Amino acid sequence: MTQDEWGHVRGELLKSVGKNNFSAWIDPITFEGIEGRTAQLVVPTSFIGTWVSQHFGDVILRHMMSAGAEVDRIEFSVDAQGRASGATQVEPVAKPAPKPSVNGTRSAPAATTAQELPESTLNANFTFADFVVGKPNELAHAAARRVAEGGPVSFNPLFLYGGVGLGKTHLMHAIAWELRNNKPDLKVIYLSAEQFMYRFIRALRDQDTLSFKEVFRSIDVLMVDDVQFIAGKNSTQEEFFHTFNALVELGKQIIISGDRAPVDMEELDNRIASRLQCGLVVDLHPTDYELRLGILQQKVDAQRERTPDLKIAPGVLEFIAHRISSNVRVLEGALTRLFAFADLIGCEITMDLTQECLSDILRASDRKVTMDEIIKKTCEHYHLRQSDLMSPSRARNIARPRQMAMYLCKKLTTRSLPEIGRKFGGRDHTTILHGVRKIEELISVDSQIAEDAELLRRMLEA
């Protein structure tokens, strides 16, 4: 696509998004070219990039395609004259590190060979100073701090786990930054399990596994993020296990993260799981209200340093902390949007503006009950195993709770009868309907059943 054609796309965009939107969001964009099937657009600030990709990404793409361009995604990068930050995509991505040298003492960059230590990319914002500590993460934070002292290895490995967006990667980068500053002689390597795998596969392909092993075994502190990625990938797991053992035997510190506890990673090699279990396993709990509010306040303070005019009405942060899910990444996304809003409209962020600006995020965060939760709670309530509930047994003490669970699925979720049927071990939708009707009938005549239904409903909706 040429600049002329981009000019045409701009004309079309003006028609579809309207003048105001066009001048606020589209006009500042520079078209750089197309690489592969990705259109490269440059924006003056990362806020605009985030905003545009969220709000106008689709329509831009559509107009480019109808102008004949062969594209299927857009990548935004920030103008060099703006802040030196990296590409902005729909997902917030880690910024490229300020060129960390992996080995603090090395001067001239050596030719990149397989023997080269993997370069760790650290996000400049993921430091301990930027990490807000609260009840849900205090243990993980304390353990990370301890490891970051770089003293004698006290627990090995440190295994951090928790759901997405709760700060695992942030803590690992913070450890790496701290060690780089305080112990520059240590070889500290941070990489994702995925990168570990690709390196290993490349070494296999280049018939260079020996140097792969040497490189990894010369490390002082190894951090592998998102280990669940290699669960089930057998030769990678095997190699990881050997690397791991070798380093532990040499008394080197290892830090690993995962989305679940080692024992709950079904496809993870049992030997690895039990090895991981030997160290210190700490989890990051979903955030609570206080922590969310603390994080919001910290990010607003940081933003104020950049844009001192930022005005947020009282109660807005409390409202967001209250309403938005436990995932910090979603929280940050919401703030980024609000900041963009404030930046461009130049007035105070009121409660009304907040609700309007974040309506989609707020809606998505509304608590929804899942069929899995219903089944779990129903089993707990009736002291049954899930396998009993799913079994074909018609015994009253099993069939009734099963019907109760079906009833709750129908009432508390938007699932259809066939979907519920599939969930309950492939039962026919007429069976589900019968179960739902049965409970409805019983509720009006059997006070025990009515009470059970009410109790379960309240627990699930809490």
- Per CB under 5 A, residues contacting Mg ion are 168-169
Smallest gap from Cβ 288 to ligand ADP, in A, equals: 11
Q: What is the 3-state secondary structure (H, E, C) of 106-135?
A: CCCCCCCCCCCCCCCCCCCCCCCCCCCCCH
* Separation CA 194–CA 225 (nearest Å): 8
- Residue showing the smallest CB distance to ligand ADP in the complex: 167
Give the number of other Cβ atoms within 10 Å of residue 208's Cβ: 16
Segment (H or E) for 188: strand 188-192
Stretch that binds ligand ADP, among 67-75, 109-117, 162-170, 348-356 (CB under 6 A): 162-170
5-41 core/surface letters (b: 16 or more CB in 10 A; e: else): ebebbbebbeeebeeebbebbbeebebeeeeeeebbb
Q: How far apart are CA 232 and CA 227, in angstroms?
A: 11
- Output DSSP code: residue 22: I
- Specify the amino acid at residue 112: T
Shortest reach from residue 262's CB to Mg ion, in Å: 17
Distance CA 402, CA 391 (A): 9
Q: Which residue is nearest to Mg ion (CB)?
A: 169
Cβ proximity to Mg ion: between 170 and 377 the closer is 170
Phi and psi angles of residue 324, each rounded to the nearest 5 degrees, phi first: -95, 145
* Closer CB to ligand ADP, 287 or 413, in the complex: 287
Least distance CB 165 / Mg ion (angstroms):
8
- Count of beta carbons in the 10 Å neighbourhood of residue 323: 16
Shortest distance (Å) from residue 391 CB to ligand ADP: 37
C-beta of 293 vs 328, nearer to ligand ADP: 328
Tokens (6 digits) for 443: 């509720």
Query: In the complex, what is the shortest distance from the CB of residue 170 to Mg ion, in angstroms, rounded to a whole number?
Result: 8
CB of 88 to Mg ion, least distance (A): 18
Q: Which is nearer to ligand ADP, 174 or 197 (CB)?
A: 174
Q: Which of 48, 71, 132, 369 binds ligand ADP (CB under 6 A)?
A: 132
For 379, half-sphere exposure in the C-beta direction (CA atoms, 13 angstrom radius) is 14
- 167 interacts with ligand ADP by CB under 6 A: yes
Task: Put residue 357 in one of left, alpha, beta given phi > 0 → left and psi -120 to 50 → alpha.
Answer: alpha
Nearer Cβ to ligand ADP (164/455): 164
> Would you say the C-alpha torsion 131, 134, 136, 139 has a positive or negative sign?
positive
- Closer residue to ligand ADP, CB minimum distance, 335 or 389: 335
Could you tell me which stretch among 67-75, 158-166, 209-217, 454-462 binds ligand ADP (CB under 6 A)? Answer: 158-166
The reply to whether 159 sits near ligand ADP by the rule CB under 6 A is no
Residue 226 CA, chain-centre distance (Å), reads 11
Backbone angles phi, psi at 223, to 5 degrees: -120, 125
Cβ-based nearer residue to ligand ADP, 131 or 229 = 131
Tokens 């995925």 correspond to: 194
The binder of ligand ADP chosen from 64, 122, 159, 170 (CB under 6 A): 170
Distance CA 433, CA 416 (A): 10
Q: Which is nearer to ligand ADP, 288 or 419 (CB)?
A: 288
Of 74, 70, 76, the C-alpha closest to 60 is 74
Q: Which of 48, 166, 193, 375 binds ligand ADP (CB under 6 A)?
A: 166
Residue from 148, 295, 404, 405 binding ligand ADP (CB under 6 A):
295
419 binds ligand ADP (CB under 6 A): no
Residue 250 binding ligand ADP, by CB under 6 A? no
Q: Output the smallest distance, CB 163 to ligand ADP, in A.
A: 7
Size, binding site for ligand ADP by CB under 6 A: 17
Contacted entry of Mg ion, ligand ADP, none for residue 166, CB cut-off 5 to 8 Å set by kind: ligand ADP
Segment 296 to 335, residues that bind ligand ADP, using CB under 6 A: 328-329, 332
Q: Where along the sequence are the contacts to ligand ADP (CB under 6 A)?
A: 126, 130-132, 137, 162, 164-170, 295, 328-329, 332
